[in-house]
Structure 1
Amino acid sequence: MTKNLTLAIEDELLDRARIIAAIRRTSVNAMVREFLEREVKRESSVAARMEKWNDRFKASDQNSQRRERRVSGDKPTFDREEFYEEVMRERGLL
């Protein structure tokens, strides 16, 4: 279902938009709709990437906590090689 939307823009901007729309053989309405679709898709993509990274950070934190429990004595709490292998496995590269 489509809804009507009223925009308030300067006359000169509308005139230029109409010229661009004519060159592209479309309408200003279609250009605005496509712009909004792109922006919503981009924002959704950014949100999905952020969620994915947050999941990875949480998993990394959990793995780090497990490592800390295993470490005793003088051993470091962070093992670069072990972390690298975990990241590579998560990405399906190992």
Structure 2
Amino acid sequence: MPNLTITADETTLRRLRVEAATRNISVSRFVGELLKEKFAADDAYECAMTDFFSRGPYLEPEPRDDGRAWPSRDELYDRKVLR
């Protein structure tokens, strides 16, 4: 497995060592797990964004369960206050 050297301030490294020790794993393994979690979250976000934008615009709203029609945009914004 390849090695990686990181540079960080002493406070961060001290906290990293303590956190790894409390989990009873090496610093190297702990950093590897953190990166794996971060990349998994990034991948999940990217999948969600791709799914959202692949759906396209909604031209027709879904019908209501009770059969009533949805109000039009003009009906929603036709208020005396806005005139």
- TM value normalised by structure 1: 0.58
Aligned ranges 1:1-94 → 2 under 5 Å:
2-57=1-56, 60=58, 64=59, 82-85=60-63
Q: What percent of counterpart residues are identical?
A: 27
Task: Flag the structure with higher helix content.
Answer: 1
Q: Which amino acid aligns with 1:57?
A: G
Q: Give, in angstroms, the shift of residue 57 of structure 1.
A: 2.1
Gaps of 5+ in 2: 64-83
Q: How far apart, CA to CA, are the structure 2 residues paired with 1:53 and 1:16?
A: 38
CA displacement 1:1-45 (0-9 Å, x = unmatched): x32111011123212211221111011111110111011111111
Gaps of 5+ in 1: 65-81, 86-94
Q: How many residues align?
A: 63
CA displacement 1:36-82 (0-9 Å, x = unmatched): 10111111111111111111125x3xxx3xxxxxxxxxxxxxxxxx5
Q: How far apart, CA to CA, are the structure 2 residues paired with 1:28 and 1:43?
A: 23
Q: Which amino acid aligns with 1:84?
A: E
Q: How far apart, CA to CA, are the structure 1 residues paired with 2:11 and 2:46?
A: 35
Q: CA RMSD in A?
A: 1.6
Q: Any idea what SS the aligned residue of 2:56 has?
A: helix
Q: Which amino acid aligns with 1:49?
A: A
- TM value normalised by structure 2: 0.65
Q: Which amino acid aligns with 1:23?
A: T
Q: Which amino acid aligns with 2:61?
A: F
